[in-house]
Amino acid sequence: MKLSSVTPLEENFLCRGREEFGRLVRRTLEKGSGAFFKVFGKSSGKPYYITVLMDNEKILAAEAEDVGGGSSLRGEAALGILKEILDGGPVIVDAFPMTDVEVKMSIVENLEVYNSTPKMKLTDICPSLGGETGETIGESRTLQRTTSSVTPGITGGITVEERPKKKPKPKTEVVIKAPAEVDSYFRGMVRHLMNIVKGFGTDLKRVEVEAKEVRYALGAGSAIHTNLKLITGGNLPGNVRKELEGFIYREAGEMSNEIGKRIVISRIKFS
């Protein structure tokens, strides 16, 4: 599905299951009148990329893309995949709060998906949204509080301990050299690549994209020739590399159709 320019509340947010996803949904909806979610996870070992549009009460549109096969599902079938990946393990989520106007604009821009999606209640996906779960919404994920035994020398005293924060993982370094008209498209592609790699339990250390417009002789037009370098430390299995390459070529085709100019992938290098 298409998403208009909306500021994310969370990007690459790890949810370990349906209940945690429900808490993120509630926290996102508190910021507006609706929300858009991009969810990456696995169903039956296959990676899926799912987009979901909702208001404060129900799901309005849903689409699931088979990352490896390139096929897509809409509506009830996509929601079925979403339920499976939420039950099957951790998922990576981008969350976008939306105003009422932004929700309506998204419906118009994704009318086919909207029409094919049954308007399912949010509680059918996340039962915890039907009431309080006992945890404050928006509570820090990095700070966990525990109560320990009575402090020696103080009758009835209770010590509240704060567990040390885990050191954040190094962020992926992204270098993009591209014409202004396609810069944002390549940044979106890189975000998707990072999500796919995360789904396989690893991270990209650095991504380099170099794109130049090449004009052909004798009035044969022009194209944007692109080289990509994905640095992972050499720990990506061959089948994962093939999936990433397939995704890049599909993205290039979609970009070509959208901007009306050919995107040619000249080289993909892993290191």
Percent of the chain surpassing pLDDT 90: 13
Q: Give the separation between CA 122 and CA 53, rounded to whole angstroms.
A: 11
Closest CA to 36 of 65, 8, 13: 8
* Whether pLDDT at 143 is above 50: no
Q: Are 207 and 231 a contacting pair, CB within 8 Å?
A: yes
Q: For residue 171, what is the DSSP state?
A: P
What pLDDT score was predicted for residue 71?
A: 80
Average pLDDT for residues 19-36, to the nearest whole number? 88
Q: Does residue 202 carry a pLDDT above 80?
A: no
Q: Could you give the 3-state DSSP secondary structure of residue 218?
A: helix
pLDDT of residue 150: 42
Distance between CA atoms of residues 23 and 2, nearest Å: 24
pLDDT of 146 above 50 = no
- Kindly report the pTM of this predicted structure: 0.49
pLDDT tier for residue 160 given thresholds of 50, 70 and 90: very low
Banded pLDDT at 163 (limits 50, 70, 90): low
Query: What DSSP line would sit under 87-149, residue for residue?
Result: HHS-EEEEEEEE-HHHHHHHHHHTHHHHHTS---BHHHH-GGGGS--SS-TT--SS--EEEEE
> What does the alpha-carbon distance between residue 163 and residue 117 come to, in Å, rounded to a whole number?
44
Residue found by looking up tokens 């969350």 in the block: 95
**Which pLDDT tens digit goes with each residue over 4-16?**
778 888 888 888 8
Q: Where are the alpha helices (DSSP H) in the chain?
A: 18-29, 76-88, 100-109, 111-115, 122-125, 180-199, 238-259
Place of tokens 């696995």: 42
